[in-house]
């Protein structure tokens, strides 16, 4: 089924990019486990490699299983096309290497995923790209100029769950002739579609909610067809960060239930946030669904649900460790978006390479814990978290 914007989101989640296999009539998209494809004649081969004819000839560039995944993502994001990569960082590096050149400037709203921040500061900067961090949308507007090429945002932010106004970022990019990129990993198109707010390019770590089951690693970028053709050429032909057909198959299977899973994630996170609001063992609670959250109004405007993540600050790393070590349903692991609940201490795991000053700037405090709420029964998750907090209090590890 090709993209049909008149179909409901849940219908497209099941059917977009999917059809009966033309060779066999198979109902599930087959795993095309092949590195190369016969093209029949020297003349057709020349046309395929020159881009004069569409078709499959080498799986590093395109593969039918991977292509079905790309079409599904493009449909759900409401964008013309998508290109898949071997990881979220494969998508980040391909985007940067395709669109940036020496002398260009990039602005991002901090905090951003630690890997993206590291790539921009440590790799892109080596090639003559100037990187600016902005604390918010006002900071972005103050930093834009004639050399601004990309404005990169993530919302909700990782791991402090701040909210960025996508429409305002899109306007800032348009005003200076730059491209806007939104990392939509945390929200997914089930809750937010950045293109509807004017964003040019949307990326995901498909490893998280798109796959949803913690069994595959991948990344994807959706956007205009002309930019995506360039991205495919550089990111796949030259960089080679190609997604495999087995992983694409798992993502296709996972995305069919994305709307249902996201509803369950949101319900669990909301129940947990309500139970934790005002808890004496917490120094802070970060969840955009709370009316006290500074980004609540913007989140309510651009999200159809508030997501499956929340972060809590227990004041000290010792208290955070005691809390994490007492959880029974939240597996201590990096990543997020699985059907199982996950927990981590960002300061010592996902963001540990940033350094103390960058951590402080981005709100990654010593006592911060990120909770990725799965699809388990919410009351069981609430009981687990409240029990771990009582353990912290009993040990007299109070917020600092």
Beta strands in the chain (DSSP E): 81-85, 105-109, 130-134, 148-154, 179-183, 201-205, 219-223, 284-286, 309-313, 331-332, 342-344, 368-372
Number of domains, the chain = 2
240 and 351 in a single domain? The answer is no
Q: Is the pLDDT of residue 389 over 80?
A: yes
CATH number where 209 lies = 3.40.640.10
Whether 183 is catalytic:
yes
Query: Which residues have CB under 8 Å from 40's CB, separation 6+?
Result: none
Residue 72 C-alpha from the chain's centroid: 16
Last residue of a domain, one of 254, 280, 308: 254
The verdict on residue 151 lying in a domain is yes
Last residue of a domain, one of 214, 231, 254: 254
283 and 329 in a single domain? The answer is yes
350 and 222 in a single domain? The answer is no
146 and 200 in a single domain? The answer is yes
Tokens of 323: 């809390």
Q: Is the pLDDT of residue 248 over 90?
A: yes
The verdict on residue 356 lying in a domain is yes
The verdict on residue 198 lying in a domain is yes
Higher-confidence residue of 23 and 120: namely 120
Main-chain dihedrals φ then ψ at residue 391, nearest 5 degrees: -60, -40
**Tens-digit pLDDT profile for residues 220-231:** 999 999 999 999
Q: State the Cα–Cα distance between residues 29 and 88, nearest whole angstrom.
A: 23
- Of 109, 257, 236, give the one whose Cα is nearest residue 183: 109
Whether 208 is catalytic:
yes
The verdict on residue 397 lying in a domain is no
Write down the catalytic residue from 44, 47, 60, 393: 60
In this prediction, residue 360 carries a pLDDT of 78
Task: Report residue 193's pLDDT band, with 50, 70 and 90 as the boundaries.
Answer: very high
Task: Report residue 21's pLDDT band, with 50, 70 and 90 as the boundaries.
Answer: confident
In this prediction, residue 19 carries a pLDDT of 86
pLDDT (average), residues 257-277: 98
Last residue of a domain, one of 229, 254, 279: 254
288 and 153 in a single domain? The answer is no
For the entire predicted model, the pTM comes to 0.94
262 and 250 in a single domain? The answer is no
Task: Report residue 398's pLDDT band, with 50, 70 and 90 as the boundaries.
Answer: low
Tokens of 177: 């002739």
Q: Is the pLDDT of residue 357 over 80?
A: no
Task: Report residue 394's pLDDT band, with 50, 70 and 90 as the boundaries.
Answer: confident
64 and 191 in a single domain? The answer is yes
Task: Report residue 364's pLDDT band, with 50, 70 and 90 as the boundaries.
Answer: confident
**Sign (positive or negative) of CA dihedral 221, 227, 228, 230:** negative
Task: Report residue 363's pLDDT band, with 50, 70 and 90 as the boundaries.
Answer: confident
The verdict on residue 399 lying in a domain is no
Write down the catalytic residue from 113, 209, 249, 287: 113
Write down the catalytic residue from 12, 168, 193, 208: 208
- The full DSSP string for 81-145 is EEEEESSHHHHHHHHHHHH--TT-EEEEESS--HHHHHHHHHTGGGGT-EEEEESSHHHHHHH--
29 and 159 in a single domain? The answer is yes
Least confident range from 3-7, 274-278, 329-333: namely 3-7
Q: State the Cα–Cα distance between residues 266 and 355, nearest whole angstrom.
A: 32
Q: What percent of the chain has pLDDT over 90?
A: 86
Owning domain of residue 84: 9-254
Q: Is the pLDDT of residue 184 over 90?
A: yes
In this prediction, residue 280 carries a pLDDT of 94
48 and 163 in a single domain? The answer is yes
CATH number where 306 lies = 3.90.1150.10
Measured CA to CA in angstroms, residue 224 lies from 50, 78, 98, 201, 276 at distances of 21, 10, 14, 8, 42
Beta strands in 278-380 (DSSP E): 284-286, 309-313, 331-332, 342-344, 368-372
Please report which helix (H) or strand (E) contains residue 44, including its range: helix 42-50
The verdict on residue 370 lying in a domain is yes
pLDDT (average), residues 65-80: 98
Write down the catalytic residue from 183, 200, 313, 384: 183
280 and 204 in a single domain? The answer is no
In this prediction, residue 104 carries a pLDDT of 98
Q: Is the pLDDT of residue 396 over 60?
A: no
122 and 250 in a single domain? The answer is yes
Task: Report residue 23's pLDDT band, with 50, 70 and 90 as the boundaries.
Answer: confident
In this prediction, residue 283 carries a pLDDT of 96
Q: State the Cα–Cα distance between residues 123 and 259, nearest whole angstrom.
A: 36
Tokens of 129: 């790209």
Q: Is the pLDDT of residue 353 over 70?
A: no
Q: State the Cα–Cα distance between residues 137 and 143, nearest whole angstrom.
A: 10
45 and 187 in a single domain? The answer is yes
């Amino acid at each position: 089924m090709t993209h049909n914007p008149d179909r409901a989101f849940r219908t497209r989640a099941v059917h977009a990019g999917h059809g009966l296999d033309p060779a066999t009539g198979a109902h599930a998209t087959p795993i095309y486990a092949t590195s190369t494809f016969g093209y029949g004649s020297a003349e057709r081969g020349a046309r395929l490699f020159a881009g004069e004819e569409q078709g499959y000839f080498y799986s590093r560039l395109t593969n039918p299983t991977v292509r079905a995944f790309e079409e599904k993502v493009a449909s759900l994001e409401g964008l013309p096309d998508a290109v898949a990569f071997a990881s979220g960082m494969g998508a980040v590096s391909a985007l940067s290497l395709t669109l940036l050149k020496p002398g260009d400037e990039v602005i991002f709203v901090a905090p951003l995923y630690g890997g993206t921040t590291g790539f921009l500061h440590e790799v892109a900067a080596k090639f003559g790209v100037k990187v600016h961090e902005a604390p918010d949308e006002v900071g972005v507007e103050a930093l834009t100029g004639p050399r601004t090429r990309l404005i990169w945002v993530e919302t909700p932010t990782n791991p402090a769950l701040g909210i960025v106004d996508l429409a305002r970022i899109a306007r800032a990019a348009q005003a200076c002739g730059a491209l806007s990129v939104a990392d939509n990993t945390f929200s997914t198109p089930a809750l937010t579609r950045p293109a509807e707010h004017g964003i040019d390019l949307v990326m995901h770590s498909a490893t998280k909610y798109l796959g949803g089951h913690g069994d595959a690693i991948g990344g994807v970028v959706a956007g205009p067809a002309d930019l995506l053709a360039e991205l495919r050429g550089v990111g796949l032909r030259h960089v080679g960060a190609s997604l495999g057909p087995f992983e694409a198959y798992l993502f296709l299977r996972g995305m069919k239930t994305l709307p249902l899973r996201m509803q369950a994630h949101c319900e669990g996170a909301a129940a947990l946030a309500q139970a934790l609001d005002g808890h004496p063992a917490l120094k802070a609670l970060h969840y955009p669904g709370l009316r006290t959250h500074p980004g609540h109004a913007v989140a309510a405007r651009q999200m159809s649900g508030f997501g499956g993540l929340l972060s809590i600050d227990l004041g000290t790393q010792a208290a955070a460790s005691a809390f994490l070590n007492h959880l029974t349903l939240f597996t201590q692991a990096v990543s997020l978006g699985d059907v199982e609940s996950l927990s981590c201490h960002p300061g010592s795991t996902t963001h540990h390479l940033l350094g103390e000053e960058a951590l402080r700037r981005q709100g990654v405090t010593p006592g911060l814990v990120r909770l990725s709420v799965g699809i388990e029964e919410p009351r069981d998750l609430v009981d687990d978290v409240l029990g771990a907090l009582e353990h912290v209090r009993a040990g007299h590890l109070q917020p600092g």
